[in-house]
Amino acid sequence: MNTSYQLDVDKIRRDFPTLKREVNSGASLVYLDNAATSLRPIQVMAQITRFYRDHNSNIHRGVHTLSVEATEMFENIRSKVGKFINAEDSREVIFTRGTTESINLVVNSWGRKFLKPNDEVIISELEHHSNIVPWQMLRDSIGIKLKYIPMLDNGHLDMDVAESMINSKTKIVSITAVSNALGTIIPIEKVISLAKKQGALVLVDCAQSVPHLKVDVQSLGADFMAFSAHKMLGPTGVGVLWGKFDILDSMDPFLGGGDMILTVNMDHSTWAEIPSKFEAGTPNIGGVIGFGAAIDYLNDIGMENIRAHEVDLTDYALQKMIDVPGITIFGPNLAKERGGVISFALENVHPHDIGQILDDNGVAVRAGHHCAQPVMNALGVPATVRASFYIYNTREDIDALVNGLSVTTDLFGVKS
């Protein structure tokens, strides 16, 4: 066991009642689908209940006690999120429904205003669909050029191509920090420095990094960053777009409606200041407040400890899984080059069959294209099985995964 970090997994596990579940008539749940969504601790559930029980109200528009309390609770979480990612100003934190909406906000509010036909937008072959499709929609609507930094066979990006692709025509590089499909950690600082040399903006999809690694927006030097609460112990339906103040300020609203206006007349309206300009309508107030408890939980453990635990688990898993007959493990060889994600295939067994047999044995993994079809195309497979780890996972969970895989290989007669 790696003892150079402090993380009391037994204590943590007691906070996650879902881990006590049994599935398929008696198999203890081993939850290894954290890249899709994490579990939630009792502290987050209790905070959401507390809001609805004691403070339920709409925000920003009431003078009564509950509304003032709810507004204060909601805005405190904006500051908490700002501190968590070291934003200079908490008004740079926009609450959205998730990473997908955050990226769509940038594409529509920044892209439609500032991009012109033939301007170049650079993404990569490793992106989640939510960082591909909105840009394709913009391309088809206004005629920008969309270019992809290719993936190498080892799951890393081809940085030589990146270097030549990012040029004076590049207006924005929109790129993931960690691949959800393979776990690859992207050299994001290098990508940012290439973009900045050309005067281009950078959006970082941090859906798989903020939950697992310390992210400091000021030292990173990107212009936008997107992530989702539900992958970091918080509720579903809450996400964040962080952006540099002046850039957000220069952008047009994304959705129109209540809360995002200053004045409304019959013939025209004017916009509120950021962040309200981008938060039309009643937000997920209870969810944002629950997200605050998730951030407290992660802060109490410490992001460095979380990362160290995941490297330990990933390293252990890579060593154990390599001995499974007929296995191909995709992505970087070294645990330190990955988030806590392992994507794999077994010779002559369909990923969905693997997922099914693992589930019969209580092990929850994801089988499919992981919303990253270009990655599957590059690997030449229709799908993979993905096991992904978080703070409550243990080496015993990985042993359960490996046991489930040997049940599968026995059943399908896979030989090494």
The torsion of the CA quartet 336, 339, 340, 341, rounded to 10 degrees, works out to -120
Compare residues 110 and 227 and give the one whose CB is closer to ligand PLP: 227
Min separation Cβ 133 and ligand PLP, Å: 11
Compare residues 71 and 130 and give the one whose CB is closer to ligand PLP: 130
Tell me the HSE value of 52 on the side-chain side, using a 13 A CA sphere. Answer: 10
The single residue of 371, 381, 402, 407 carrying the catalytic annotation is 371
Q: How far is CA 41 from CA 233, 239, 411, in A?
A: 7, 18, 36
Encoded tokens for 76: 């405190």
Report the alpha-carbon distance of residue 3 to residue 225 in Å, rounded: 33
Compare residues 251 and 341 and give the one whose CB is closer to ligand PLP: 341
Respond yes or no: is residue 206 known to be catalytic.
Answer: no
Compare residues 176 and 343 and give the one whose CB is closer to ligand PLP: 176
Angle in degrees, CA 337, 338, 340, rounded to 5: 150
Q: Is 218 exposed, middle or buried (0-12, 13-18, 19+ CB in 10 A)?
A: exposed
Compare residues 155 and 327 and give the one whose CB is closer to ligand PLP: 155
Report the alpha-carbon distance of residue 105 to residue 279 in Å, rounded: 11
Q: What are phi and psi of 384, to 5 degrees?
A: -135, 170
Please give the sequence-ordered ranges of beta strands (E in DSSP) within 97-238, or none if there are none.
120-124, 145-149, 170-176, 201-205, 224-228
Min separation Cβ 97 and ligand PLP, Å: 7
Encoded tokens for 288: 């944002």
Q: Which of 389, 384, 371 is nearest to 331 (CA)?
A: 384
Min separation Cβ 205 and ligand PLP, Å: 5
Point out which residues bind ligand PLP (CB under 6 A).
Answer: 98-100, 128, 130-131, 176, 180, 205, 207-208, 228
List b or e across 95-133, with b for residues whose CB sees 16 or more CB atoms inside 10 angstroms: bbbbbbbbbbbbbbbbbeeebeeebbbbbbbbbbbbbbb
Min separation Cβ 100 and ligand PLP, Å: 3
Min separation Cβ 177 and ligand PLP, Å: 8
The torsion of the CA quartet 300, 20, 386, 235, rounded to 10 degrees, works out to -50
Asked whether the beta carbons of 176 and 208 are under 8 A apart, the reply is yes
Report the alpha-carbon distance of residue 148 to residue 167 in Å, rounded: 13
Min separation Cβ 324 and ligand PLP, Å: 25
Q: What are phi and psi of 329, to 5 degrees?
A: -100, 125
Min separation Cβ 409 and ligand PLP, Å: 28
Side chain identity at 69, as an amino acid letter? E
Min separation Cβ 180 and ligand PLP, Å: 3
Please give the sequence-ordered ranges of beta strands (E in DSSP) within 150-191, or none if there are none.
170-176
Report the alpha-carbon distance of residue 27 to residue 380 in Å, rounded: 34
Which residues does the annotation mark as catalytic?
371
